[in-house]
Amino acid sequence: MIYSLATRALHILPPEDAHTLTILLLKAGLGPVSRLNTPELAVDVAYDGGVLRLPNCLGLAAGFDKNADVPLAMVRAGFGFAECGTVTPLPQGGNPKPRLFRLTEDQAVINRMGFNNKGLDVFSRHLEHINAHRKGAVIGLNIGANKDATDRMADYITGLKRLWGQGSYFTINISSPNTPGLRALQGKSHLDDLLGQIVETRAALVKVSGSNYPIFLKIAPDLTESEIIDTVTSTLDHKLDGLIVSNTTLSREGLISSQASEAGGMSGAPLFELSTRALKTARSASEGTLTLIGAGGVSNGAQAYAKIRSGASLVQLYSALVYKGPGLADAIRRDLVLRLKADGFRSISEAVGTAN
Active-site annotation, residues: 176
Residue pair 109/319 in contact by the 8 Å Cβ criterion: yes
Residue 219, beta-bridge partner list? 245
**Residues contacting residue 73 through CB under 8 Å, at least 6 positions apart:** 26, 27, 29, 31
User: Roughly what angle, to the nearest 10 degrees, separates helices 272-286 and 225-237?
Assistant: 50
Distance in angstroms (rounded) separating the CA atoms of residues 207 and 330: 40
Transcribe 183-247 into DSSP letters. GGGGSHHHHHHHHHHHHHHHHHHHHHHS----EEEEE-TTS-HHHHHHHHHHHHHTT--EEEE--
Residue pair 307/257 in contact by the 8 Å Cβ criterion: no
Here the contacts of 304-309 (C-beta below 8 Å, separation 24 or greater) are 304/57, 304/58, 304/332, 304/335, 304/336, 305/335, 305/336, 305/339, 305/351, 306/276, 306/355, 307/276, 307/279, 308/57, 308/336, 308/348, 308/351, 308/352, 309/351, 309/352, 309/353, 309/354, 309/355
Would you say how long the chain is, in residues?
A: 356
